[in-house]
């Protein structure tokens, strides 16, 4: 920039000399063109994953159903075992699941409500963190509640096969993650 | 979700990465993806015989792996349940896959 300003100043001073001004104009145009080429090359190499020799592979880790990033980080001891090779970046899913719990057997069977307080079976809200999902089941109701609700029935182990809702949110959310925290060499999906 | 990101023609997002690791994966009921049609280097890690992963069956994850091109996908089957195995020999196989990208 400094050189360009200096050249512009020189150009103004030599305005009465036609030949010199043409020469300097050409010089400036060429210089600007080279500068632009250099700039775009720098940009493209920094945006392209793996264009520069990576020290570690950056992997974006996506947790499973009824999990969250911090839980996944704790259970997956991959980072320790792959130390020096990878850098794992854990991301939270965009969908929060409702706080539903499954009552214990005795609570389901007990007809006398007064003799058994259902409160004693409630999971603690203090120790529990929100559970998230990439997608949610179509019958998923009551999002983002912080008080626990009793499940109507047993959890269906094949529920994942019907999960479709909220699909449009996930890819666009991940695009934002890529642009903010990327580039990533790879992605890791669990379940 | 990771599978759909690999199969980007079906998603209207432009996300660039070089490989995918799919652990106990399954195909979403959303998209019709042809077998051997996804051209993205992939590592598939899932429970071996039926019952080793009680959440996602071996067959389901195997079907997911079959959507990827044969010559760029690697499969690791383990007997550790619904987790990512980090003990030998699985961890060495995972390292072997990652070395290709270092």
**Residue A58 backbone dihedrals phi, psi, to 5 degrees:** -90, 120
SS3 labels along B36-82 = CCECCCEEEEEECCCCCCCCCCHHHHHHHHCCECHHHEEEEEECCCC
Q: What angle do CA A28, A32, A37 make, to 5 degrees?
A: 150
Enclosing H/E stretch for B22: strand B19-23
Asked if A76 lies within 8 A of B82 by C-beta distance, the reply is no
Please report whether residue B31 resides in a domain.
Answer: yes
Q: What percent of chain A has pLDDT over 90?
A: 20
Q: Are B1 and B64 a contacting pair, CB within 8 Å?
A: no
Asked if B95 lies within 8 A of A135 by C-beta distance, the reply is no
Q: What percent of chain B has pLDDT over 70?
A: 88
Asked if A187 lies within 8 A of B30 by C-beta distance, the reply is no
What domain range is B93 assigned to?
2-8+18-99
Nearest CA of chain B to the CA of A116: how many Å?
33
Q: Are B23 and B30 a contacting pair, CB within 8 Å?
A: no
Q: How far apart are CA B23 and CA B2, in angstroms?
A: 10
pLDDT in tens, A61-97: 999 887 888 888 887 689 999 999 999 999 998 877 7
Residues of A in contact with B54 (CB under 8 A): 157
Taking the Cβ of residue B97 and every Cβ of chain A, the question of whether any pair is shorter than 8 Å is answered with no
Please report whether residue B75 resides in a domain.
Answer: yes
DSSP, collapsed to helix, strand or coil, labels residue A100 as strand
**A190 closest CB neighbour out of B13, B23, B99:** B23
Give the lowest-confidence range in A14-18, A137-141, A160-164, A178-182: A14-18
List all residues of chain B from 45 to 64 with a beta carbon under 8 Å from chain A.
54-56
Asked if B29 lies within 8 A of A190 by C-beta distance, the reply is no
Please report whether residue B35 resides in a domain.
Answer: yes
Q: How far apart are CA B61 and CA B25, in angstroms?
A: 5
Taking the Cβ of residue B88 and every Cβ of chain A, the question of whether any pair is shorter than 8 Å is answered with no
What rounded mean pLDDT belongs to chain A?
Answer: 67
Which pTM was predicted? 0.68
Record the tokens describing residue A92, joined without a space: 């939270």
Write the DSSP symbol of residue A62.
E
Q: What percent of chain B has pLDDT over 90?
A: 57
Q: What percent of chain A has pLDDT over 70?
A: 41
Residues of A in contact with B102 (CB under 8 A): 54, 57, 85
What rounded mean pLDDT belongs to chain B?
Answer: 87
Please report whether residue B24 resides in a domain.
Answer: yes
Kindly state the average pLDDT of the residues B5-28.
Answer: 80
User: pLDDT band for position A40 (50/70/90)?
Assistant: low
Residue A36's pLDDT is what? 62
Please report whether residue B55 resides in a domain.
Answer: yes
More confident residue, A54 or A164: A164
Residue position matching structure tokens 């499969």: B75
Residues of A in contact with B86 (CB under 8 A): 76-78, 80-81
Taking the Cβ of residue A79 and every Cβ of chain B, the question of whether any pair is shorter than 8 Å is answered with no
Please report whether residue B13 resides in a domain.
Answer: no
Asked if B19 lies within 8 A of A64 by C-beta distance, the reply is no
Taking the Cβ of residue B24 and every Cβ of chain A, the question of whether any pair is shorter than 8 Å is answered with yes
Q: E strands of chain A, at which residues?
A: 57-62, 86-91, 95-96, 100-101, 132-133, 149-150, 186-190
pLDDT in tens, B40-74: 999 999 999 766 787 888 988 999 999 999 999 99
SS3 labels along A70-88 = HHHHHHCCHHHHCCCCEEE
pLDDT in tens, A113-153: 444 444 445 555 555 556 666 666 655 555 545 566 676 76
Q: Which of A168-177, B1-10, B48-57 has the highest mean pLDDT?
A: A168-177
Please report whether residue B77 resides in a domain.
Answer: yes
Does residue A21 surpass a pLDDT of 80? no
CB crowding A133-154: b at 16 or more within 10 Å, else e: bbbbbeebeeeeeeebeeeeee
For chain A, give every domain's residue range.
2-47, 55-191
Residue A139's pLDDT is what? 56
Q: Are A95 and A166 a contacting pair, CB within 8 Å?
A: yes
How many domains does chain B contain in total?
1
């Amino acid at each position: 920039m400094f050189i360009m300003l200096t050249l512009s100043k020189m150009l103004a001073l030599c305005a009465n000399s036609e030949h010199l001004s043409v020469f300097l104009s050409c010089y400036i145009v060429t210089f600007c063109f080279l500068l632009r080429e250099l700039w775009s090359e720098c940009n493209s190499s920094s945006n392209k994953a793996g264009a520069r020799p990576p020290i570690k592979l950056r992997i974006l880790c996506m947790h499973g159903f009824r999990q969250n990033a911090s839980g996944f980080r704790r259970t997956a001891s991959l980072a320790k075992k792959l130390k020096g090779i990878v850098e794992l970046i854990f991301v939270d899913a965009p969908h929060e699941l409702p706080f539903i719990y499954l009552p214990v057997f005795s609570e389901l069977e007990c007809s006398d409500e007064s003799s058994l307080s259902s409160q004693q079976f409630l999971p603690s809200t203090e120790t529990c963190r929100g559970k998230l999902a990439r997608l949610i089941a179509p019958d998923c109701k009551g999002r983002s509640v912080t008080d626990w609700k009793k499940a109507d029935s047993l959890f269906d182990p094949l529920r994942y096969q019907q999960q479709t809702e909220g699909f449009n949110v996930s890819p666009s959310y991940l695009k934002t993650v890529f642009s903010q925290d990327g580039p990533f060499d790879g992605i890791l999906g669990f379940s | 979700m990771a599978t759909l990101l690999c199969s980007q023609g079906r998603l209207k997002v432009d996300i660039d990465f070089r490989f995918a690791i799919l652990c106990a994966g399954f195909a979403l009921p959303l998209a019709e993806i042809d077998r051997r049609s996804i051209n993205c280097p992939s590592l598939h890690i899932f429970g071996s015989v039926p019952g080793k992963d009680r959440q996602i069956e071996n067959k389901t994850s195997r079907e997911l792996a079959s959507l990827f091109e044969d010559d760029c996908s690697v499969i690791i089957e383990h007997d550790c349940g619904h987790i990512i195995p980090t003990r030998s020999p699985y961890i060495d196989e995972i390292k072997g896959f990652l070395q290709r990208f270092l």
